[in-house]
Amino acid sequence: MKKLVFIFHLILSSVTILAQQKVYTLDDWNIKDWDSQKGELYLDVNEYKLDYNHPLPFHDMQSKWRVKADLKCGTLGTEQVFVCKDGKGSHLLGRLSLHGDISIGYDNTNHTFFVEVVDRNEQPHRLCAGPEVQAGRWYTLEANAEYDERNDLSTLTLDVDGNKSVLTYPGKALRHNASLWTIGHGFPGGFPNSLQVRKGSIRNLEISGEPLPRVDGQNPMFTDSFTADPAFLVVGDTVYAYVGQDKAAPGGWFNMPGWLCYSSKDMIHWEPHGTVLKPDAFGYAVPTSAWAAQVVKADDGKFYFYVTLDDKNTKLHTVDVAVSDSPLGPFMPARKDGTPLVTDDMTPDSHRWNADIDPTVLIDDDGTPWIAWGNGDCYMARLDKNMHEIEGEVKKIPLRNYSEGPWLMKRKDIYYMIYASDAPGVQEEQMAYSTAPSINGPWNYRGFISTSANHGFTIHPSVIQFKGQWFYIYHDGSYSLDGAPGGQCRRSVCAEYLYFNEDGTIRFIPLTQEGLSVKPDICVSDIF
């Protein structure tokens, strides 16, 4: 009997290991012009990419990873990349990365196969191994990396037909901001003379990895649901996080049935409170249109929930408001006539159709409430003291490269407008900001706060001060929850520490998986 129990536990352990180390192959690419029976994919300046929503591990390769494949070069004389996990360009260390986080291919200088990785400091490390490559011949290549947490070093091994080379590099086995997997083409994609395979082939591709265990404060903040468009509110010794719930199918379009709420006493440990407001509370709204929102506490002690909705009659975005006596709801529409607070006819000069999204509200030191919003152009207006009517003129705010997602705030005597930016040459939105000495401007562009989010074309800010520390909150599409992949429409809310310089400008914020679990070393000037 004991023997049977032991065998059962052995089988169970094996199943668990296999479940954690799923192996991804060429079949996962779903390449239409590939003969899967033959098992060989011919490459001649071809490029095959996996969609962001595909369940290939992104952050799940930081403890260890393995890539194995048979490679054949048809033409020599130029560097070629057969398999690449593209690196996201970042502003870490003040420059962009032009390397893949993992690149495997032919090195035309050494005439051997190579694997190249990028460490946490954006330094590339290339390892070559094996005999001199001959055109038209198959070679079996296996690259492995394993992270030593105690020494904060990773060991990289490359084996080509039994010939092995080894090197170490600082940090985790895979850098957090890795992007898409590509076959037949190396980073940077689309550039002239990019590292494409000429008349070569690949077969027997296997990719696997292992994650590091989660720790308190690590991104994403919430792991019970996909969450997006964060709006955080401090009330006394408690932070309330209001987020849209993402329920899109893998590869599907946005499906957001409501706004969730979480609360915390330390920004690390969170209590879920479920759905506190749904779009169908507003009679005209599409029930899956819980777009970006913000909650503020007004001078009357009530909590006002400013939301973006889709009007099922006009098919346009609107801004509306709900109210509650408690930060946890229940929230009910504040406008008794059933009409939205902001409609498209109030912003006829927007250069984008359907412009009324993403409300942000600031109650100034004199008690005056202001609301800003907009898609493509940013608008601002004064709210009535009742918090649910526009009072006065709707004005367009000149903000450089403004896209969407404004966050209006005040620190000391400086007004800040933080927003998603679509600067020229940038495919995904990045976070930028402008400042002003008065709510009426002039607004001065100050640059970027962060890069674009991982695995998503949108990013949305929330900035708060809590117990003396400033925080920057955003969403990210790179995480898998309970085996379900993240992506463009399946996002997760993340947070980083934020610091100001003495002149009121904001220090650039690297986006990390560590999040709030590790507080960075700072200079005295950074705490102002």
pLDDT tens per residue across span 261-285: 999 999 999 999 999 999 999 999 9
Q: Which of 164, 182, 199 is nearest to 77 (CA)?
A: 199
Q: With H, G, I as helix, E, B as strand and everything else as coil, classify residue 18.
A: helix
Range 387-399 average pLDDT: 96
Query: Which residues are 445's β-sheet partners?
Result: 434
- pLDDT band at residue 353, thresholds of 50, 70 and 90? confident
Three-class secondary structure assignment of 403-418: EEEEEEEEECCEEEEE
Q: What is the pTM of this model?
A: 0.86
- pLDDT band at residue 10, thresholds of 50, 70 and 90? very low
Contact 104, 69 (CB under 8 A): yes
Residues near 273 by Cβ (< 8 Å), separated by ≥ 6? 260, 261, 262, 263, 328
Range 445-474 average pLDDT: 93
What are the residue ranges spanned by the domains of the chain? 21-210, 226-526
Asked, as a colleague might, if the bond just before 287 is cis with ω within 30 of 0, I would say no
On average, the pLDDT of the chain sits at 88
Range 197-201 average pLDDT: 95
- pLDDT band at residue 95, thresholds of 50, 70 and 90? very low
How much of the chain is helix, strand and coil, in % rounded to 5?
5, 45, 50
Alpha-carbon span 148 to 150, nearest angstrom: 6
Note the pLDDT of residue 93. 35
Fold of 21-210: Jelly Rolls (2.60.120)
Note the pLDDT of residue 467. 97
Strands 259-264 and 271-277: antiparallel
> pLDDT: is 34 or 51 the higher one?
34
For residue 128, pLDDT beyond 80 = yes
Structure-token pair, residue 396: 């367009």
Fold of 226-526: Tachylectin-2; Chain A (2.115.10)
- pLDDT band at residue 87, thresholds of 50, 70 and 90? low
Percent of the chain with pLDDT over 90: 70
Range 312-329 average pLDDT: 97
- pLDDT band at residue 27, thresholds of 50, 70 and 90? confident
Range 292-311 average pLDDT: 98
The C-alpha angle with vertex 486 and arms to 482 and 490, in degrees rounded to 5, equals 110
